[in-house]
Structure formats: structure tokens, C-alpha cells
Amino acid sequence: MIKHIQVMLTALAIAVSGSTLAQPRREQPPAGPAPVNAAGRVLLQGADPSDKGTWTPVFGILDPITPYEQIPFQPWSKALYDYRQTRELEPHTRCKASGTARQFLTPYGVEFVELQDLQQIIIFDIGGPHTFRIIYMDGREHPQDWQHTYYGHSVGRWEGNTLVVDSVGFTEQFWLDRRGMPHTDQLHTIERFTRTNKNTMEYRITIDDPATYTKTFDGGFNLRWNQGEELFEYVCQQANYATELMVGAGAESVDRSSNIVP
């Protein structure tokens, strides 16, 4: 049964990554400079409405965002991480919205939409949960009575051409990256998005969770611009049998005794 699930999950993972090969990628334009707004600040979208595009990771499906030997685990989190390598019961596969780095590690990618009049940047997922994440750009603080959620509460500001986003208030029902880095609801992250040229965005994340790690540390990878691509509908639950396979009554089903999923 375990073997069956592992085979199924591997097949799912391959199917998901394989779809990037099946879908013809438009040619990237030459790596010219990143588009800028009237004030000269880099845009995370296209130069104008005809210049559409999405961002996908330049990353191997099983690459860790931080090399294993550099992750400052506590003993319990190292044990959990190692356990996750054997079972691969990632919540993302059963459609949980997975925040932090995981949000940007889907084959279909995301779009950043900057809304000046609302003072928000909204990140729209194509794959995974097909949901949205609001980054408040109006200088507000994190609220005291925040109900913890998959994407947390995010406030952002520009430091030159880098979007810096500070987030707290996460639930524990997801993995930080595809390899299974753990966290608790004390997690605090600082993400830095830097578009270095038309085709490349650097993503760096500082992970600050004193309940899980012995010190703060960084991880990251790059995103590539897919010229001409647009958001399209993807619904994780359509023909998804992973939810039933992973939530059963048997010995291999997901352990429900802890808030922190295995």
C-alpha cells in the first residue's frame, strides 16, 4: 500500500512536471532590461497591457531551496524532515494552499498584479490551489488578532528595485518547499523579489522560526518570465484521487493527532 502510494505520487509529480514539457513554451525574448514604471522603478508585470507574462521556477522538482547540510534544524524538525523524505505526503498534492517558497514552485506559475489605487500587490496562482495572495503596500502593521492562514498576512515595501515582503500568521498545514521543510505557526518570513532583467526574477526568503530552527537562514531560487502567457483555470480537485488516497482509515493514512502534518 505504501509502495502503491509512492508510485502514485511519483506519477502525479511526473505528470505535473511533465505537463510543462507538453505545453509548448513560447520563446523567451532576449534578456533585455526589466520594464520600469514612470518613476523608473522595476515592474513585476509587463511594460504595458500587451506585454503579458507569468513567472515559473527555474528549479528541479526535488531541489531543496537551501542545501540540506545548511538547514539549522532542531532535532525534532530534522527528524520530521527526514521522515517526509520517505512518505512524500505533501499537503500541496491534496490541494492545500502552500505558502512561502512553495507558492512559487508550481509548474504553471504565478502572476504579480500591482494595483496602485488599492495599494496592494496581488499574486495569483495558476496551479495548486488557484487562489490569490494579497500583499498590503500601504504601510500597515500585521494585525494582532489575525486568524492564521496558509499564506499568512503580508506587508510589503520597495527597497530600490527589490520588493521586500514581511509575513507572519501561517498555519502549519503545508510544507515550506517541495522537499518538506517544516515550520510552526511562529513562522515569520522575509521575501525579496528582485527582477534583474526582463526574463529573470530572483526569489530569496529568510526563514525565522525559533520553534523549528536554531537560527534564521536563507533559501531561494530564480523565476523565469514566460512572455505572452496568461492566467488560466486549473482546479486541483478535478480528477484528483490523491485526496482519497492520502486520507483514509488505514495505517498509511495521514496522522491527524498533530496540527503539524507529517
Which residues would be at the binding site for another protein (CB under 8 A)? 23-24, 49, 52, 94-97, 113, 115, 117-120, 122, 124, 129-132, 134, 138, 147, 149-150, 173, 230-233, 235-238, 243, 247, 254-256, 261
CA distance 2 to 82: 17
**CA dist 29 → 51, 107, 202, 219 (Å):** 11, 20, 18, 28
Nearest distance from C-beta of residue 67 to another protein, angstroms: 30
Q: Which is nearer to another protein, 82 or 230 (CB)?
A: 230
Which DSSP state fits 247? S
Which DSSP state fits 206? E
CA distance 99 to 252: 26
Hey, what's the cell of 253? Answer: 493514512
Q: Which is nearer to another protein, 137 or 205 (CB)?
A: 137
Q: Which is nearer to another protein, 66 or 226 (CB)?
A: 226
Q: Which is nearer to another protein, 197 or 243 (CB)?
A: 243
CA distance 124 to 108: 11
Nearest distance from C-beta of residue 58 to another protein, angstroms: 21
Q: Which residue has the cell 511594460?
A: 47
Nearest distance from C-beta of residue 138 to another protein, angstroms: 8
Nearest distance from C-beta of residue 133 to another protein, angstroms: 10
